[in-house]
Amino acid sequence: MVKIEQFKASTLEMLANAIADIDPGITGSVIHKMLLQSQIEDISFNEQFLAKRKKLFNAFADYQNKNHCANNIILFIQNILSPQRYINNVEMFNSIKAEVNKQLAFEGLYVDDTNQIISVEKASKISDVQIKVDGLKAKLIEQGAHQLVFSYCNAELLANNYFHSVLESSKGLIKRIQDLAGVSYDGQNLIEKVFKDDEPILIVNNFQSKSEKDEHRGFRNLLIGIVAMFRNPTSHELKVEWNMSEQDALDILAMISYCHRRLDNAQKIRLE
């Protein structure tokens, strides 16, 4: 296993508090069992009047001092958050995982829905971690959305602002195409000129066979659809009134993420 760098003492403290205090079903005996299962010594086990959170913090801190890493602390978190333990109490599971993820964010880590630890951009301030476990940004992380989706609308995602997350991300997609093509056109005009059938500026495949040209055309039409829905200046008034659901935002941002992945391999074959 790759070495996981030691957590800050404040992270250990807040993780211990979240795990020990939120779920009354996580008793002292459960913590003791999970510590042993995770190969962490329960050094405060015999201190009868010590609070659960303090015992857990002591065990975490002792493990780190001896091993100079956080690997088994992560293993403990995965054990305590095993989905099987919460099959009949999903709400409690989500509450604990949300608090754990808020603290792990300061270490650049995140527990996804499959109980796996993934790397994320390390948080440095409170606003970086003000996300819900069932929030838009968390779900996009779990889906493996393209990093540029987050780059263009991070503040909106943190606020769970669905419409503006989509709007800003679509603007970012347009800006990337402008940069790749080296042009200043905007909106549908941009897409039609950059990805036109004859002598396009950008291609996303070899653009040789009929099927490749059909794919090129389909990609262009997908981009035009995104532009028409979210970047057409004549429909601003309608868009302001659009009550977008989280699922709508997830579906649309997934399309934008797909477009970014195709653009990762785009080739510029002529100058404008």
How many CB atoms are located within 10 Å of the residue 60 CB? 24
Per-residue pLDDT reduced to its tens digit, 48-102 = 889 999 999 999 999 999 999 999 999 999 999 998 889 888 888 888 988 898 8
Cβ proximity of 92 and 55 under 8 Å: no
**136-174 confidence digits (pLDDT tens):** 777 787 788 898 888 877 665 656 577 878 888 888 999
pTM higher than 0.85: no
pLDDT band at 182 (very low <50, low <70, confident <90, very high): very high
pLDDT of residue 127: 58
- Using DSSP's 3-state secondary structure scheme, residue 111 falls into strand
pLDDT of residue 232: 55
Going by C-alpha positions, the residue among 21, 16, 22 that lies closest to residue 40 is: 16
CA dihedral of 204, 207, 212, 216, whole degrees rounded to 10: 50
What are the pLDDT digits (tens) for 189-246?
999 999 999 899 999 999 999 999 999 999 999 999 998 887 654 444 445 546 778 7
* Mean pLDDT, the chain, whole residue set: 86
CB-CB contact of 53 with 21 (8 Å): yes
Predicted local confidence at residue 156, as pLDDT: 59
Say if CB 34 and CB 16 are below 8 A apart.
Answer: no
pLDDT exceeds 50 at position 126: yes
